Amino acid sequence: MSRSMPSVAPSILAADFARLGEDVARVSLAGADYIHIDIMDGVFVPNITMGPSTVSSIREYSKLPFIAHLMITHPERHIKAFADSGSDIIEVHIEAEQDLVKTLRSIRDHGKKAALAVNPPTAIENAFPYLREIDLLLIMSVNPGFGGQSFIESSLPKIGIAKKEMERQGSSVPVEIDGGINGKTGELAALAGADILAAGSYVFKADDMPAAIRTLRACGSSKH
C-alpha cells in the first residue's frame, strides 16, 4: 500500500551551536520541512539547551516552520515567550507539571499550533482526552534529554493506536516521532504511520545532508 511521504524535521540539538544560524540555513536549503528546536531546562530533563532568545536569534535564518519542543516544567509560564520568539508549533509534555488543557489553549490563543508530547514510558491512552485540544501529537522514541540515543521500538505501536483513536473521535492530527531516527528506524516509523520524522544526529552528522533528508522523506514508500 502506498502512503504519503513523511515530512522531515531536523533537530538542531545536533547542530554546531557556535554556528547555529548558519546550520539552520544550511538544513533548510538541504530540503527540511520544519526546524525542530529542543528546549531543555535541567529540571524536566537532566540537560540544559537554550531559551526563547536563541529561537528569536535564529528565526531570520529560515522561512520554515519552527517547532519548539519544550522539555521543561511549567511550560505555561513560557508560552508567550516562545510564541513571540517566532515558534509556529509549540510542543509540551503530558508528563510536565502544569494545567495541561490551560497550557494547550494558551498556545492556540497565541495563534500557534499546540502539540502534545508523550514519553516512552507513558501510555498513549493518557493522551486521548486531549486529542481535540491539539494540532499535532509527538511520540517520543527515546527518553528525552540527549541526542544520539537508540530508538525505542516499543514506541512504534503507539502511532497506530493514536491514529485509530483519532478516527474514532472524528479528529485527525499529524503524528511526529522523535529520537533515534535514521534511515532504518525512519522506515519503521513511516510504515507505522508517522507523518513527521524528527532527526538530529542522522541529519547533522551526515556527510551529505540533502541525501540524508531525501532518505528520510522516502521512508515508508518502498513496496512491501
- Catalytic residue numbers, as ranges: 38, 178
Q: Give the DSSP per-residue string, 205-218.
A: T-SSHHHHHHHHHT
- Residue choice 42, 148, 160, 183 for contact with ligand DX5 (CB under 6 A): 148
- Tell me if 176 contacts Zn ion by CB under 5 A: no
What are φ and ψ of residue 216, in 5° steps?
-65, -40
Q: Does 160 bind ligand DX5 (CB under 6 A)?
A: no
CB neighbour burial string for 151-182, b if at least 16 within 10 angstroms, e if fewer: bbeebbebbebbbeebeeeeeebbbbbbbbbb
107 or 216: CB nearest ligand DX5: 216
Helix (H) or strand (E) holding 107: helix 100-109
Residue 200 interface partner, choices ligand DX5, Zn ion, none, CB cut-off 5-8 Å depending on type: ligand DX5
216 sits near ligand DX5 (criterion: CB under 6 A): no
Largest interatomic CA distance in the chain: 47
Strands of 136-140's sheet, edge to edge? 7-10, 196-199, 175-178, 136-140, 113-118, 89-93, 66-71, 35-40
**Binder among 6, 23, 26, 38 for Zn ion (CB under 5 A):** 38
- Smallest gap, in angstroms, from Cβ of residue 99 to ligand DX5? 23
- Beta-carbon count within 10 A of 48 CB: 12
Grid coordinates in use for 132? Answer: 481535540
For ligand DX5, the binding residues in 63-122 under the rule CB under 6 A are 69
Least spacing, CB of residue 164 vs ligand DX5, in Å: 25
Smallest separation, CB 210 to Zn ion (Å): 22
Which listed residue (6, 8, 13, 96) binds ligand DX5 by CB under 6 A?
13
Q: Is 137 in the site for ligand DX5 (CB under 6 A)?
A: no
168 to 207, contacts with ligand DX5 by CB under 6 A? 178-181, 198-202
Q: Which residues bind ligand DX5 (CB under 6 A)?
A: 11, 13-14, 36, 38, 69, 142, 144-149, 178-181, 198-202
